[in-house]
Amino acid sequence: MARTVQGARIQPSATGKRPIPIPRRFCADLYAVYGAILDDESIILVPHEYAHDQEYADDPDGDDAGWRREHYNAHRCQQATVVYERLGQNHPNLLSFLRRDPWTAFPILATPSGQPLPHFLHERKAALYTAPLDTPSARILPAHRPMMYEWALNLISALAFIHSHDIVFGLLTQQNCWVSTEQRISEDYSRHSGRPRLFLFGFVDAGFDRYPGSWVNSPYCYHDDREEEPTQQTDLYLYGCLLYEFMVGVAHDTPLQWDIGDRVKARQWPSLETEYMGDIVRKCWTGEVGSAEEVKLEVEMFVRMYGEREW
């Protein structure tokens, strides 16, 4: 099994200012790496230091802007560029890689319509989930389950593609997911003139070959594994955690998420019914599935069985 591009190094341009400064308009947060909006059609991943360090506030785009070459988070952005370039092609469920920014060596991605998944769910939680919200008993409403089934398929299709290139995603969370709506979603979210799709993006904690990735910021990370390199099996385990969050409405970085994380790490599997993909989730948690392709086949069969919808 492939292990995980941490430590991969590419160098930004050493001279001159960036012709157009990177705007401080941020649309996504990937644990100390942000998505900054370049224009209406693209974003660039930038490190925390660019957004917040006073040291660079006076001349953030100057020749000596150390945030683009000296910091760990800058290296995370640059290793994401390495991963995107290694993939060599785009996938229907990955935000499209456009190019490497020559001044920073950070990746520039195409932005679809829509918004990051945590924002999407936060704004619509009451319309999507049963009461009481923010509890383990909450469930996605039946009218909206097909959307979650589609998201599950979107996500595992992307992971299978990534794994086929011997890449491990590493820290897989809601933060790495973007929801795009091809057309406007209706007010009750049960009938759609266009369906919302889920895209995966980031790769700032990914890895391959001799370069280990990281997943230490996950609430589902075993304490004993914090110094361990994640593997493709780790990606599948975290995929199961994401499916659970989709079905129950677990918000990112909340007491409920950390409580569920503690239970999963203790192998005290939270209950989740079959129609909420509970069987697939448990197989991902217990390691009963051997590859993303295997999970993808199971999800495809599940969607054929349960995924009828009125859209």
pLDDT at 7: 46
pLDDT at 155: 97
Task: Encode pLDDT of 43-59 as tens digits.
Answer: 999 988 887 655 554 55
**What does DSSP assign to residue 166?**
T
Tokens 């203790």, residue located: 266
- Contact indicator for 136, 256 with CB cutoff of 8 Å: yes
Distance CA 21, CA 31 (A): 23
3-state secondary structure of 200: strand
pLDDT at 209: 55
Please give the order of strands across the beta sheet that includes 33-39. 26-29, 33-39, 42-47, 107-110, 97-100
* Structure tokens belonging to residue 142: 């039946």
Cα–Cα–Cα angle for 307, 137, 248, rounded to 5 degrees:
45
Q: What are the start and end residues of each CATH 1.10.510.10 domain in the chain?
A: 115-306
Distance CA 268, CA 290 (A): 22
Task: Encode pLDDT of 136-169 as tens digits.
Answer: 999 999 999 999 999 999 999 999 999 999 999 9
Distance CA 12, CA 81 (A): 11
pLDDT greater than 50 at residue 1: no
Q: Where are the alpha helices (DSSP H) in the chain?
A: 48-52, 72-87, 117-128, 145-163, 232-248, 255-265, 278-286, 292-306
- Under the banding of pLDDT at 50, 70 and 90, the label for residue 186 is very low
- Contact indicator for 41, 95 with CB cutoff of 8 Å: no
pLDDT at 263: 87
Residue 287 region by backbone torsions, left for phi larger than 0, else alpha for psi between -120 and 50, else beta: left
- Under the banding of pLDDT at 50, 70 and 90, the label for residue 223 is very low
- Under the banding of pLDDT at 50, 70 and 90, the label for residue 109 is very high
- Under the banding of pLDDT at 50, 70 and 90, the label for residue 73 is confident
- Contact indicator for 240, 282 with CB cutoff of 8 Å: yes
The helices-and-strands tally (H runs, E runs) of the chain is 8, 8
Report domain 115-306's class: mainly alpha
pLDDT > 70 fraction of the chain, expressed in percent and rounded: 76
How many residues are given for the chain?
A: 311
Q: Average pLDDT over the chain, rounded to whole?
A: 82
**What does DSSP assign to residue 104?**
T
pLDDT > 90 fraction of the chain, expressed in percent and rounded: 50
Give the distance, in angstroms, between the CA of residue 112 and the centroid of all CA atoms in the same chain: 15
pLDDT at 97: 96
Distance CA 200, CA 173 (A): 10
Residues 6+ apart with CB under 8 A from 120: 114, 179, 196
- Contact indicator for 292, 235 with CB cutoff of 8 Å: yes
- Start-to-end C-alpha separation, the chain: 40
Distance CA 104, CA 67 (A): 9
The residue among 296, 311, 220, 214 whose CA lies nearest residue 258 is: 220
Lowest mean pLDDT among 31-45, 122-136, 219-233: 219-233
Lowest mean pLDDT among 68-72, 101-105, 175-179, 297-301: 68-72
Helix crossing, 278-286 with 232-248: angle to 10°? 150
pLDDT greater than 80 at residue 65: no
* Range from 8-22, 85-99, 209-223 that averages highest in pLDDT: 85-99
Task: Encode pLDDT of 4-63 as tens digits.
Answer: 444 455 666 655 666 677 878 888 888 889 999 998 889 999 988 887 655 554 555 554
pLDDT at 32: 86
pLDDT greater than 50 at residue 309: no
pLDDT at 144: 93
